Amino acid sequence: MNNFFKAIIAGAAAKKFGGGCLGTIVIFVLVWVALGQCSSTPATTKSKAPVIKEKKISSIPTKSYRPLVKTAA
């Protein structure tokens, strides 16, 4: 909501319901904050799925793995 219209609405409510000087200020602030909360856009709940990097895991440990080498006998 535009700040100008928030001020007009909050001022009208404060004039109508505020009892004295302090009450008018309190009502103005309360209505201003309430109008600010109502007009704020909600946070987006849509989020991208997390990217999971896959690593290829061998079932043979790399230290104990030796390629088969055929030797002449």
* CB environment 40-70: b (16+ within 10 A), e (fewer): eeeeeeeeeeeeeeeeeeeeeeeeeeeeeee
Record the pTM.
Answer: 0.52
**The residue to which tokens 């904050």 are assigned:** 33
Contact 33, 13 (CB under 8 A): no
Mean predicted lDDT score pLDDT of the chain? 78
Is residue 36's pLDDT more than 70?
Answer: yes
Q: Which pLDDT belongs to residue 8?
A: 93
What single-letter DSSP state applies at residue 38?
Answer: H
